[in-house]
Structure 1
Amino acid sequence: MGGADSTDQSGGHRAYIGSFTSGGGRGITTAAVDPATGELSPLTATGVLPDPSYLAVARDTGVLYAVSEAEQGAVAAFEPTAEGLSPLGAPARVGGSGPTHLSLAGRRLLTANYTSGSVSSLPLAADGSPAGPASVLTHQGSGTDAERQDRSHAHQVLPDPTGRWVLSVDLGTDSVRVCALDAATGELRVHAETALSAGTGPRHLAFHPDGTVVYVLHELVPQLTVCRWDPTSGQLEPVGEVPVASEGPSGAARAYPSAVVASPDGRFVWAAIRGADTIATLSLAGGAEKPRLTGTVACGGSWPRDLAVDPSGRRLYAANEHSGDVSWFDVDPQTGHPRKAGSVAVPAATCVVFC
């Protein structure tokens, strides 16, 4: 974490935890991370931004960015200090409603606006704070689920590892759009759109570390779509589908997958599944394009909205929204299966990021 002190007094590093203030959360919690055990120890919290449900850290400056998942969506920046977080400039409107995800692409901040079905691009000022006006690309279309897919619902926006392309995942249209980002204007332009299975509701994706395979996790059907990614042409090609949940007994809670991450060494993929309240492990022993479900474990709480792997790849962290906690897991280096190692109370927890 550049430009600020990234360590706590014990020599560990920091984690930031987002939450829904409308659900009793404290906003953004800063926590110390014990490097030996992975334990999180909350230090401070800031509630100045309503519903900071998703966070991202700029690796070069250490600035923390957060969405405000509200009707008039906004983003804000925070500078880490020894005491916690200090607001960096004023929040900026994203020109859309219900932003659920954000990421950085060079000197632009990108948001996926679920309610309005759009993605936004905002410039960053010299100090790292977001500035307006936002450039907005509105998605068009709908899906087969009348209740959840009546229109577009952009849920994630993420640059590819080369930084040349931006991928936006749309739950409402069962598709992933590949966009080009104009470096001068910040405008996003649709380059291609990849259709996925109807009614599956794609929510989040993760790149394999080699940058040529993409794993798209669906919310409405508990499965993962494996896609081949060509960074030269900007084309995303589905090559297979894999379940992330076993068939449960009759009357079992419906599964609503939420987040997918790949291990830094490229050997495993993990998915968080709400309703079933589990974490699924998929092995890539057969190759990056052939994940295989090898087991599931309890997420340590209820409704795991986010799943994060620490920088070492040795631990997983689940932000359990309904039970109000973050649980951490040691990862078996041979099987990839997580084993719960601890938990800390964080009301309405939604996201975990590390610096």
Structure 2
Amino acid sequence: MTRFWVGGYGPDMEGEAEGIGFLSADEGRGPSTLAHRRLAARAASPSWLAHHPTLDVVYAALEGDGAVQAFARSGEQTLRPLAPPIPAGDSVCHLAGSPDGRMLIASCYGDGRVVRFGLDDAGRIVAPAADRAAALRQALFGGADEQSDAAGAADPHAASDPYPTPAGEEPRASHAHAALFLPDGRIATTDLGFDLVRIRRRDLTPDHDVVLPRGTGPRHMVLHPSGHLHVVTEYSCEVFTLASGPDGRWGLVAGTGVGAMTEADAAAELAVSRDGQTLYTALRGSNTIAALRVRGAGDVVEPLALADSGVDWPRHHLVHEGVLLVAGQKSSTISAIDLDERTGAPRGVRHRTAAPSPTVIVPAR
């Protein structure tokens, strides 16, 4: 049976979800039998979910509470909390686990924080050793408490910004949105507010920044099999391609529009096909899915097709066995879109199922 965990917005985020849901399709009968079966675990607006790399443990970003929480499987369709929620930051919206299963990175949209948590052998969220030592020093000697929080970003466009903030409007602010572990152990993070992709060392100290054009709003990323990093921008609805040079510094090598249909469109998730030949992003507003072809050495991205997402406000999607599953936050539905086996282009909506305010879908082991 094909199984998934589904995160969503609850009443504290103007949604209907009571926690993490369980979604499945009948064995041998395909996506047409996909259905939201039950509530797997109660949680307050688990808007993002991430798996431990080896354990049957799921981490949830509780966006409204600004906290993170770990859940372990307790049955075929259920999860249980491993411990109470742990504070992370304002509007924590994304989690990324390290390949070695020792670290969890939380990105906080509200205050721009990027926070590093340690993971123990059972997958529980704990403070890294350095932070436990800092807490002990504070308890014994007083003084400021050192935290595993990344240094705040500065707006790279501020000095030469030709667009002063209009009266009555808030100035530009840092909005961390996602993190991704790179093959060399460093971590890439996006700052949607300051138009930055930040390359960080394992302790989250900044290594260097890649500055994107002002007002683009980098949101989510995927690492292509070629080694290139593709970044989708929420505001400008583009995909920017980054490459690492011989000195280890990343730089911008290309960018392309994804075919937004309206000025109100806002790009959401970015996913890559198993063969690496196709990227998929969703456009909230026109409620469409944009497919892009990856060519060359993985550094050339071209628009391929634009199709109906089958939902309202497609916030997240993933490719699974030749089908694109799309979470529609405002329609409280999940759609299954067939993909062309040869080109990867969306062929049409095969099936829809009800799900309360879904914001993320992850495969269940």
For this structure pair, what is the TM-score category when the shorter chain's length is used for normalisation?
A: 0.7 to 0.9
1:128-182 CA distance string (max 9 Å, x none): 111246611142224668568621000001112x25111100001101000111x
2:198 pairs with 1:173? no
Which shows bigger deviation, 140-149 or 190-199? 140-149
2:232 pairs with 1:217? yes
Structure 1 pair 222–271 and aligned structure 2 pair: CA distance change class (3 A): same
Does the aligned pair in 1 maintain the 2:151–2:206 contact within 8 Å? Answer: no
Cα RMSD, aligned residues only: 2.0
* Aligned match of 1:156: 178
2:253 pairs with 1:239? yes
Counterpart among 268, 278, 300 of residue 258 in structure 1:
268
Does the aligned pair in 1 maintain the 2:289–2:308 contact within 8 Å? Answer: yes
Amino acid aligned to 1:32: S
Residue 13 of structure 1 deviates from its aligned partner by 3.1
Residue 287 of structure 1 deviates from its aligned partner by 4.4
Q: How does 1:126-145 map to 2 (within 5 A)?
A: 126-132=121-127, 135-142=148-155
Q: Give the whole-Å Cα distance in 1 for the aligned partners of 2:331 and 2:192.
A: 25
Q: How does 1:1-355 map to 2 (within 5 A)?
A: 12-22=1-11, 23-34=15-26, 36=28, 37-38=30-31, 39-46=33-40, 48-70=42-64, 72-80=65-73, 81-94=75-88, 96-105=89-98, 106=100, 107-132=102-127, 135-142=148-155, 146=165, 150-160=172-182, 162=183, 164-181=185-202, 187-210=203-226, 212-230=227-245, 233-246=247-260, 248=261, 252=262, 254-310=264-320, 312=321, 314-338=322-346, 339-355=348-364
Q: Give the whole-Å Cα distance in 1 for the aligned partners of 2:323 and 2:175.
A: 31
SS of 2:39 mapped into structure 1: strand
SS of 2:50 mapped into structure 1: strand
1:59-106 CA distance string (max 9 Å, x none): 311211111102x52111111222411111222222x11111001013
Choose 1 or 2 for highest CA Rg.
2
* Structure that is richer in helix per residue: 2
Q: Give the whole-Å Cα distance in 2 for the aligned partners of 1:34 and 1:329.
A: 17
Residue 208 of structure 1 deviates from its aligned partner by 0.7
Q: List gaps (5 residues or longer) in structure 1.
A: 1-11, 182-186
- Number of positions where the alignment pairs a residue of Structure 1 with one of Structure 2: 328
Does the aligned pair in 1 maintain the 2:113–2:176 contact within 8 Å? Answer: yes
Q: Give the whole-Å Cα distance in 1 for the aligned partners of 2:153 and 2:187.
A: 17
1:327-353 CA distance string (max 9 Å, x none): 111211112112311111112110011
SS of 1:273 mapped into structure 2: strand
Amino acid aligned to 1:141: A
Residue 319 of structure 1 deviates from its aligned partner by 0.8
Q: Give the whole-Å Cα distance in 2 for the aligned partners of 1:175 and 1:193.
A: 7
Q: TM-score normalized by structure 2?
A: 0.84
Structure 1 pair 326–149 and aligned structure 2 pair: CA distance change class (3 A): farther
Q: Give the whole-Å Cα distance in 2 for the aligned partners of 1:239 and 1:78.
A: 40
Amino acid aligned to 1:190: P
Does the aligned pair in 2 maintain the 1:40–1:344 contact within 8 Å? Answer: yes
Q: Give the whole-Å Cα distance in 1 for the aligned partners of 2:307 and 2:210.
A: 32
SS of 2:126 mapped into structure 1: coil
Q: List gaps (5 residues or longer) in structure 2.
A: 132-146
Q: Give the whole-Å Cα distance in 2 for the aligned partners of 1:209 and 1:62.
A: 26
Structure 1 pair 345–148 and aligned structure 2 pair: CA distance change class (3 A): farther
Structure 1 pair 67–148 and aligned structure 2 pair: CA distance change class (3 A): farther
Give the percent of matched residue pairs that are identical in Structure 1 and Structure 2: 28
Structure 1 pair 35–333 and aligned structure 2 pair: CA distance change class (3 A): farther
Residue 108 of structure 1 deviates from its aligned partner by 0.7
Structure 1 runs (4+) deviating above 6 angstroms are none
Does the aligned pair in 2 maintain the 1:65–1:77 contact within 8 Å? Answer: yes
1:185-209 CA distance string (max 9 Å, x none): xx31111100011111111111112
Does the aligned pair in 2 maintain the 1:328–1:340 contact within 8 Å? Answer: yes
Which shows bigger deviation, 50-59 or 283-292? 283-292
Q: Give the whole-Å Cα distance in 2 for the aligned partners of 1:138 and 1:228.
A: 24
Q: TM-score normalized by structure 1?
A: 0.87
Q: Give the whole-Å Cα distance in 2 for the aligned partners of 1:165 and 1:256.
A: 29
SS of 1:191 mapped into structure 2: strand
Q: Give the whole-Å Cα distance in 1 for the aligned partners of 2:184 and 2:124.
A: 21
1:246-300 CA distance string (max 9 Å, x none): 5x4xxx4611001111111111111111011110011124441111101110111
Amino acid aligned to 1:171: L
Structure 1 pair 287–332 and aligned structure 2 pair: CA distance change class (3 A): farther
